[in-house]
Amino acid sequence: MPKILVCYKWVLDEQDIKINPGDLSLDTSRAKYKISDYDKNAIEAATQLVEAHEGSVDALTFGNDKVKQSLKDVLSRGPGKVQWIGDPAFEQADAFVTANVLAAAIRNNESYDLIICGEGSADSYSQQVAPRLATILGIPAVTFVQELSIDGSRIIATRKLGDCTEVVEVQGSAVISVLPEINKPRIPSLKQVMAASKKPSQELKIADLQLSTEDLQAKTVNLSVKGYVMNRKNILFKETNQADNVAKLVASLAQEGVC
């Protein structure tokens, strides 16, 4: 019976973010948070495995002081309990800090047969947390996973690479990062939503994780985030001869480096 941990990130819902037309800065004042999309695939993958093999799924998250809002949401999607580390000081935590904190929290717990993450987060999408986590924990990382199964103590994963797929087998514990095509996350039933309140959650404090100052110092600093606006060129070709219009269009595209 596998003991699985799923890690997830509580991110701003990009649909609620507006771009200020003047300086292209992001207006997040009305943005709600959500579980990062690929992490929903990770939660679903873990939940399907324990439905097939019994066992248990725990969830773990690290973020700013808003992560507490995520607990019932994640618990409604399958995990039996959740641990969370929420600290406003880590608003800008990068993949380095995140992996250090998650690894310390995992070491704080019992061991897991399998740790599942999403391939990347919906906000920064660095794709680094899963491999970093595996490195710190000293266990294999299997990334870009589109199929996942367990056979006894063997973990069998199909990885989607550039132009081929690769099937790998891992004996013992591993960190897996999954792609969105691995499954279609379930929509929690309303009874599952209500039942989430009765599942346990536990707060962990950074101070209790025995991390050094260096472990908690971000390697990457976010200097600015700006919206990307696509403007039309508003070029009209008005030659009477269509062939001339086509020639001008091709020339114009070539000038832009498109063809």
The residue ranges that bind other proteins (CB under 8 A) are 69, 72-73, 76, 187-191, 193-194, 196-197
| CB contact set of 237 (below 8 Å; sequence gap of 6+) | 244, 245, 248, 249
The nearer residue to other proteins, 42 or 71, going by C-beta atoms, is 71
Smallest gap from Cβ 39 to other proteins, in A, equals: 15
Smallest gap from Cβ 239 to other proteins, in A, equals: 23
| 78 neighbors 56 (Cβ within 8 angstroms) | no
Q: Which of 59, 84, 53, 45 is nearest to 176 (CA)?
A: 45
Cα–Cα distance for residue pair 5/111, rounded to 1 Å = 9
Smallest gap from Cβ 258 to other proteins, in A, equals: 25
The nearer residue to other proteins, 44 or 94, going by C-beta atoms, is 44
Smallest gap from Cβ 69 to other proteins, in A, equals: 7
The nearer residue to other proteins, 194 or 253, going by C-beta atoms, is 194
The nearer residue to other proteins, 234 or 241, going by C-beta atoms, is 234
Cα–Cα distance for residue pair 85/60, rounded to 1 Å = 8
Alpha-carbon distances, residue 51 vs 57, 82, 125, 253 (angstroms): 10, 18, 29, 54
Cα–Cα distance for residue pair 103/132, rounded to 1 Å = 9
Smallest gap from Cβ 210 to other proteins, in A, equals: 32
The nearer residue to other proteins, 230 or 243, going by C-beta atoms, is 230
